[in-house]
Amino acid sequence: MTEGLKINVNYKDLLDFMVCSTENEDCMFDKCTSCPGPDLLKDILQNELEELELPDEITFKQWISTDRANLITEVLPLEEFLDVLIEK
């Protein structure tokens, strides 16, 4: 999901902003009270993206599962895209 933004990060980099340790089970299962959580990641992404000249809408692909997995293309406003990215 971050490929289209041309930001040099992967999902592990994003997780590092949300948890104390990716090696800690409590952190990864949202049981740690010390983890910064998704708000910090959203703030960092918003600050980074403000410096880029991005369109109002972001086109990205994601897998959805029903009775089977499908790769769909979605177009969302930037703010909604950030919410989806952080949720995933």
- Which three-class secondary structure state does DSSP give residue 57? strand
Q: How many domains does the chain have?
A: 1
Structure tokens at 13: 């980099």
Structural domain for 77, as ranges: 3-87
pLDDT for position 49: 77
pLDDT for position 7: 59
pLDDT for position 33: 92
The mean pLDDT values, 10 residues at a time, for the chain of 88 residues are 58 88 92 90 82 83 88 92 86
Residue of 18, 19, 77 whose CA lies nearest to 49: 77
pLDDT for position 77: 93
